[in-house]
Amino acid sequence: GTGGSIILTSSTAGLKGTPNVAQYTASKHGVVGLMRTLALELAPHSIRVNSVHPTGVATDMILNEATFRLFLPDTEHPTRQQAAEVFATTNALPVPWVEPRDISNAVLWLASDEARYVTGVTLPVDAGYTIK
Q: Where are the alpha helices (DSSP H) in the chain?
A: 22-42, 65-71, 80-88, 100-111
What's the pLDDT score for residue 19? Answer: 87
Distance CA 128, CA 95 (A): 10
Confidence grade of residue 9 (pLDDT, cut at 50, 70, 90): very high
Q: Which residues are catalytic?
A: 24
Specify burial of residue 28 (Cβ count, 10 A radius: 0-12, 13-18, 19+).
buried
Sign of CA dihedral 5, 11, 12, 15: negative
Mean pLDDT to the nearest integer, 106-114: 98
- Amino acid occupying residue 73: P
| DSSP track, 54-73 | ES-BSSTTTSSHHHHHHH-T
What's the pLDDT score for residue 87? Answer: 96
What SS3 state is found at 126? coil
- Kindly state the percentage of the chain with pLDDT values over 90: 95
Mean pLDDT to the nearest integer, 1-19: 95
Distance CA 96, CA 49 (A): 29
Specify burial of residue 74 (Cβ count, 10 A radius: 0-12, 13-18, 19+).
exposed
